[in-house]
Each structure stands twice: as structure tokens, then as C-alpha cells.
A = this chain, B = another copy of it.
């Protein structure tokens, strides 16, 4: 492996000059520059990022902390982030937190020791004080942390309202909600949106809300109970797409036809929705865009640009599948 020193010797200049050529800083005579460039090419010299990082206290690396990359929402976010980063010569470190506060903190610690330039995080447990104290640029995705911390998400309350409104518009008369976990802001907001749309309805009962955990099996179980106890429910707003799959499974087990007997709408718009049968109607987040905006915002933060907007709330769209009736039917 050749070093800047070898290049300097070979080109008969000092390491400072080589460094100037590499970084296009300071003055370098055109002749000298060409000579150095020639030697660099000859030796196939590639500067050592670690040495540079040590001095500059930055690593051209950012970390993404997600609960679990296996959850189909996150790979698309990760892909978007990585696309933006790699186009700017940054590198992405991937961390799975399992929504565990200890793991999140451990990752933060390690990242700080590695001079990671910034972190994009999906968390429900990290506090603004902790983040502040670490002093690493950070952007939250999907789940809101604090007004002080930039966040990229959709308006979950609005999205949930749209979901319920849509079910209503297709003729559903009794709409239940299998919500996501209690401590997760996005799940909370979707619940709030649902509640806002239904609480003044004469048919509404608090029993229409059940708590799932963003996972299929448990949702199937919960839905089966719900439908057994309330057979006249004809619409379910699931906390996310995976849960919608769970709801559909339960409905099928109970012999209910979808969407004739029961309409199901999800949330997220992961590509899975188009693979199931029936295809799932869902409130689709612009997932790729969320990732790319988050990455862009983090780079702005890192590179000291003013960030015009702290909280990006992107628009949801409704993706119509066959898990809901067609309007007016």
C-alpha cells in the first residue's frame, strides 16, 4: 500500500504539496500538480481515510439505527438513504436496535468513538437530553422525538383519518382499529386519527380498538377475538400493512369474504401490499422519499447548512387494492 510519503518522495516534493494536490487547497504550481498526479496514478495511490478521519474528526460515515431491518418498511428507507449518501461519498452503517434502549445507547457510544458524522434513527426510547449530550447531528425518521430534533415522517393523524374516511366512503358502517404498540408515536397518532373520525359516531365502542404489535400472528389472534365478539364490524383499519395481512388471515379463517364482508385498510404502502391476494388497500407513505429527505437533511446538518424545515411531513397517498370495496358499491 502506497502512502502519501512514498508519493512525495517519488515526485520529489513534500507531503504537504501532495496533500494540496489531493485536496485542491492552497497554491500548487501547475507543473508540480501534473507531476504529482502522474506519480499518484503510477503508484495507484489511494489516500487512507482513517488517517484523514483522525485529523479531521469526521469519517464520511453515518449510522442508521432501525428497530429491525427485517421489517419491510426499513429496507426501502435504508436504500434511499444509502443512495443519497453514496452519491456524496458517504458510507452507511446499519444498526438493529430491536427498540431496545440499551442497544440504541450502545450503538450511539460506538458511533461516537468512530467519529461517525451523524445518525438517522427510528426510536421511541431515546430522549432529547441524551441525544443533545452526545452532540452528534441526528435526524429522526418515522417517529417524532422532540421539536428540537429534525424529523422526517408523514402526518399519521391525517393519514389515519383518510383511512377511516375512505372506509366510510365505501360503505363501511362499523369500523374497528387494530393499533400498533402504545409507546410508538406513529402508532399513537394513527390511533388518534382513527378516534377523531369515529368517536362521535353512534356505533362507536371503545371495544373496537385492539392493540397489536406490528406483527402478523398476534394481529391475527387479536382480530379473531375482535370479530368473534363483534361480528357486525365491516371495516378494519390496521395499524400497518403487516397487521393488515394479519387481519385478512383472521377474516379468512372465520370465513369472511374480503371485501364483501369485511374491508381492510393498512398503512405504510410497503411493496408487500401488491403481492397479497387480495392486494391491500393502504395509506401509502412515500417511503423512499422519507429516506432520501432524511439523508439530505442530515447532510445539511453535518455540512453546516441551515435547515429551513425541522419537521418534514410528507404527503400520504391512498393505494387502492382489493381489500376494500370500490367506492359507492
Which residue in chain B gives the minimum CB-CB distance to A113? B49
The interface-forming segment of A50-58, A159-167, A224-232 is: A50-58
Q: State whether the Cβ of A320 lies closer than 8 Å to any Cβ in chain B.
A: no
Q: State whether the Cβ of A70 lies closer than 8 Å to any Cβ in chain B.
A: yes
Please tell me which one of the listed residues B47, B50, B75, B252 contacts residue A50 in the complex, with CB atoms under 8 A apart.
Answer: B50
Given contacts A94-B93, A113-B47, contact A69 B59 (CB under 8 A): no
- A37-84: which residues lie under 8 A (CB-CB) from chain B? 46-51, 53-54, 59, 61, 64, 68-70, 72, 74-76, 78-79, 82-83
Q: Which residues of B contact A294 (CB under 8 A)?
A: none
- A243-273: which residues lie under 8 A (CB-CB) from chain B? 245, 248-249, 252, 271-272
Q: State whether the Cβ of A115 lies closer than 8 Å to any Cβ in chain B.
A: yes
Q: Is B50's CB under 8 angstroms from A115's CB?
A: yes
Q: In the assembly, what is the distance between CA of A93 and CA of B114, in Å?
A: 13
Q: Which residues of B contact A319 (CB under 8 A)?
A: none
Q: Which residues of B contact A114 (CB under 8 A)?
A: 49-50, 61, 91
Q: State whether the Cβ of A124 lies closer than 8 Å to any Cβ in chain B.
A: no
Q: Is B69's CB under 8 angstroms from A78's CB?
A: yes
Q: In the assembly, what is the distance between CA of A95 and CA of B94, in Å?
A: 10
Residue among A61, A75, A276 having the largest count of chain B Cβ atoms under 10 Å: A75
Q: State whether the Cβ of A213 lies closer than 8 Å to any Cβ in chain B.
A: no
Given contacts A50-B53, A59-B50, contact A79 B75 (CB under 8 A): no
Q: State whether the Cβ of A112 lies closer than 8 Å to any Cβ in chain B.
A: yes
Which residue in chain B gives the minimum CB-CB distance to A287? B70
Q: Is A94's CB under 8 angstroms from B82's CB?
A: yes
Q: Is A275's CB under 8 angstroms from B277's CB?
A: no
Which residue in chain B gives the minimum CB-CB distance to A56? B50
Please tell me which one of the listed residues B54, B74, B75, B275 contacts residue A54 in the complex, with CB atoms under 8 A apart.
Answer: B54
- A177-201: which residues lie under 8 A (CB-CB) from chain B? none
- A127-153: which residues lie under 8 A (CB-CB) from chain B? none
Q: In the assembly, what is the distance between CA of A146 and CA of B76, in Å?
A: 31
> Smallest CB–CB gap between A93 and chain B, Å?
6
Taking A61-B93, A89-B110 as given, write out 12 further A-B residue pairs in contact, using a Cβ cutoff of 8 Å, ordered by the A residue number: A48-B113, A50-B59, A69-B78, A70-B75, A70-B79, A70-B271, A72-B72, A92-B93, A216-B275, A272-B272, A272-B275, A275-B275
- A-B CB contact pairs (8 Å), 26 listed: A46-B109, A48-B54, A49-B110, A49-B114, A49-B115, A50-B113, A50-B114, A50-B115, A54-B54, A64-B94, A69-B69, A69-B78, A69-B79, A70-B76, A70-B271, A72-B75, A75-B75, A78-B94, A83-B96, A89-B110, A91-B95, A91-B110, A91-B114, A216-B274, A248-B277, A276-B277
